[in-house]
Structure 1
Amino acid sequence: MRLSALFIRLAAFCLAAIVCGFAARAVVTTVETRSVETVGVALEEQGHAFASVLGDGLQVILEGEAPSEAMRFRAISTAGGMVDASRVIDNMTVEDSAGIVAPEFSLEILRNDSGISIIGLIPALSDRDDLTETLTDMAGENSNFADFLTTADYDVPDGWDGAVAFAVRALRQLPRSKISVRAGRVAVEAISDSREQKAQLEISLRRASPDDLLITLNISAPRPVVSPFVTRFIIDENGRRFDSCVADTAAAESRIVAAAQAAGVEGQIGCMVALGAPTTRWADAVTMSIAALDDLGGGTVTLSDADIILVARTGAVEGNFDRVAGELENALPEIFALEAILPATPTQSNEGPPQFIATLSPEGLVQLRGRMSTELLNSTAENFARAKFGSADISMATRVVDGLPSNWSIRVLAGIAALSQLSNGSVVVEPADIVVRGNTGSPAASGEIIRLLIEKLGEAEEFEVSVTYVEELDPIAALPTTEECLGQIMNVTESRKIRFEPSSATIAGAGAAILDDIKEILQRCADLRIEIAGYTDSQGSEDGNQRLSQQRADAVLEGLRVRRVPVASFRSVGYGEADPIADNETADGREANRRIEFSLIVPESTEELTGLDQIEAEAALEAAAVEDTAAPEDLNE
Structure 2
Amino acid sequence: MRSTAKTSLRLLSFCAAAFGSVWIGTRIADDLEWRSLAAVSNALAEAGYPWATVTTDGVIARISGEAPDEASRFRVMTTASAVLNPVNLRDGMTVVEVSTLPPPQLRLELLRSGNALTIHGLIPATTDDALTLAQQITALKPDLRLSDLVAPVDLAAPEGWPETLAASLTAMAALDNSRVLLTPDAIQISGLAPATLSLSAFDAKLRAMLPPGVSLSLDLRAPRKVVSPFIARFRLTPEGGVTEACAANTDSGRQMIEAAAAAAGIDVVGRCAVVLGAPDASWDQVVVTGLNKLAAMGDGTLTLSDLQLTLVPGPAAEPVLTETALEDLESSIPGIFSVNVPIGLADPAEGAESELEFRASRNEDGAVIIHGPLPDRDSIAVVQSLARAQFHSESLSLDLRQQAGLPDKWTLRILAALDQFSAIEEGSLSVSPSMIEIDGTSGSKAASTEIAAGLTAALGMGDPFRLKIDYDRLLDPIAALPSPQECIDRVRAIQSETKITFAPGSVELDAASSAIVRKIADVLRKCSDVPIEIGGHTDSQGRDEMNEKLSQQRADAVLRALIAQRVLSANLTAKGYGEARPDADNGTADGREANRRIEFALLGTSQTEDDAPTSNPTEPENGPN
Pair 1:246 & 2:247 matched:
yes
Deviates more, 1:318-327 or 1:412-421: 318-327
Q: For residues 292 and 122 of structure 1, do their structure 2 counterparts lie closer, same or farther at Cα, with a shift above 3 Å needed?
A: same
Match of 2:198 in 1: 199
Q: For residues 628 and 257 of structure 1, do their structure 2 counterparts lie closer, same or farther at Cα, with a shift above 3 Å needed?
A: farther
Q: For residues 482 and 165 of structure 1, do their structure 2 counterparts lie closer, same or farther at Cα, with a shift above 3 Å needed?
A: closer
Match of 1:359 in 2: 361
> Match of 2:119, as an amino acid?
S
Match of 1:477 in 2: 479
Pair 1:397 & 2:400 matched:
yes
Q: For residues 181 and 515 of structure 1, do their structure 2 counterparts lie closer, same or farther at Cα, with a shift above 3 Å needed?
A: farther
Residues 111 and 178 of structure 1 are in contact (CA less than 8 Å); yes or no, is this contact kept in structure 2? yes
Within 2, Cα distance between the matches of 1:179 and 1:519? Answer: 34
Q: Cα offset for 1:309?
A: 1.0
Q: Cα offset for 1:520?
A: 6.3
Q: For residues 328 and 181 of structure 1, do their structure 2 counterparts lie closer, same or farther at Cα, with a shift above 3 Å needed?
A: same
Match of 1:149 in 2: 151
TM norm structure 1: 0.61
Gap regions ≥5 residues in structure 2: 1-99, 502-509, 535-554, 563-568, 574-580, 582-589, 621-625
Residues 355 and 429 of structure 1 are in contact (CA less than 8 Å); yes or no, is this contact kept in structure 2? yes
Match of 1:269 in 2: 270
Residues 123 and 129 of structure 2 are in contact (CA less than 8 Å); yes or no, is this contact kept in structure 1? no
Match of 1:181 in 2: 182
Match of 1:384 in 2: 386
Q: For residues 238 and 305 of structure 1, do their structure 2 counterparts lie closer, same or farther at Cα, with a shift above 3 Å needed?
A: same
Q: For residues 372 and 558 of structure 1, do their structure 2 counterparts lie closer, same or farther at Cα, with a shift above 3 Å needed?
A: closer
Within 2, Cα distance between the matches of 1:371 and 1:185? Answer: 65
Residues 108 and 119 of structure 2 are in contact (CA less than 8 Å); yes or no, is this contact kept in structure 1? no
Structure 1 residues 378-428: Cα deviation after superposition (integer angstroms, max 9, x where no partner): 2222122223335374523322222x2222121111111121212233221
> Match of 2:273, as an amino acid?
M
Residues 176 and 190 of structure 1 are in contact (CA less than 8 Å); yes or no, is this contact kept in structure 2? yes
Q: Cα offset for 1:246?
A: 0.9
Match of 2:109 in 1: 108
> Match of 1:396, as an amino acid?
D
The secondary structure found in structure 2 opposite 1:401 is coil
Task: Tell me which stretches of 4 or more aligned residues in structure 1 moved more than 6 Å.
Answer: 99-104, 136-142, 496-499, 509-520, 526-532, 557-565, 596-601, 626-636
The secondary structure found in structure 1 opposite 2:321 is helix
Deviates more, 1:218-227 or 1:169-178: 169-178
> Match of 2:205, as an amino acid?
R
Within 1, Cα distance between the matches of 2:132 and 2:347? Answer: 78
The secondary structure found in structure 2 opposite 1:228 is coil
Within 1, Cα distance between the matches of 2:140 and 2:184? Answer: 23
Structure 1 residues 568-621: Cα deviation after superposition (integer angstroms, max 9, x where no partner): 9xxxxxxx9xxxxxxxxxxx9xx99xxx999999xxxxxxxxxxxxx9x99xxx
Residue 416 of structure 2: which of 402, 414, 417 is its match?
Answer: 414
Q: Cα offset for 1:314?
A: 1.5
Q: For residues 520 and 211 of structure 1, do their structure 2 counterparts lie closer, same or farther at Cα, with a shift above 3 Å needed?
A: farther
Within 2, Cα distance between the matches of 1:263 and 1:249? Answer: 21
Deviates more, 1:514-523 or 1:436-445: 514-523
The secondary structure found in structure 2 opposite 1:245 is strand
Pair 1:429 & 2:431 matched:
yes
The secondary structure found in structure 2 opposite 1:253 is helix
Within 2, Cα distance between the matches of 1:314 and 1:218? Answer: 51
Within 2, Cα distance between the matches of 1:287 and 1:487? Answer: 46
Match of 1:318 in 2: 319
Residues 368 and 398 of structure 1 are in contact (CA less than 8 Å); yes or no, is this contact kept in structure 2? no
Match of 2:257 in 1: 256
Within 1, Cα distance between the matches of 2:360 and 2:246? Answer: 26
TM norm structure 2: 0.62
Deviates more, 1:329-338 or 1:124-133: 124-133
Pair 1:222 & 2:223 matched:
yes
Within 2, Cα distance between the matches of 1:345 and 1:520? Answer: 49
Q: For residues 423 and 350 of structure 1, do their structure 2 counterparts lie closer, same or farther at Cα, with a shift above 3 Å needed?
A: closer
Residues 380 and 400 of structure 2 are in contact (CA less than 8 Å); yes or no, is this contact kept in structure 1? no
The secondary structure found in structure 2 opposite 1:124 is helix
Percentage of pairs with the same residue = 29
Residues 482 and 528 of structure 1 are in contact (CA less than 8 Å); yes or no, is this contact kept in structure 2? yes
Within 2, Cα distance between the matches of 1:227 and 1:437? Answer: 22
Q: Cα offset for 1:102?
A: 8.1
Match of 1:128 in 2: 130
Match of 1:608 in 2: none
Match of 1:68 in 2: none
Structure 1 residues 342-376: Cα deviation after superposition (integer angstroms, max 9, x where no partner): 435989x9993422223334444443322212222
Match of 1:536 in 2: none
Within 1, Cα distance between the matches of 2:225 and 2:456? Answer: 19
Match of 2:469 in 1: 467
Report how many residues are paired. 495
Within 1, Cα distance between the matches of 2:219 and 2:399? Answer: 49
> Match of 1:295, as an amino acid?
A
Q: How does 1:338-357 map to 2 (within 5 A)?
A: 338-341=339-342, 342-344=344-346, 352-357=354-359
> Match of 2:195, as an amino acid?
R
Residues 598 and 629 of structure 1 are in contact (CA less than 8 Å); yes or no, is this contact kept in structure 2? no
Q: Cα offset for 1:303?
A: 0.8
Residues 602 and 613 of structure 2 are in contact (CA less than 8 Å); yes or no, is this contact kept in structure 1? no
Residues 293 and 299 of structure 1 are in contact (CA less than 8 Å); yes or no, is this contact kept in structure 2? yes
CA RMSD of aligned residues (A): 5.7
> Match of 1:480, as an amino acid?
P
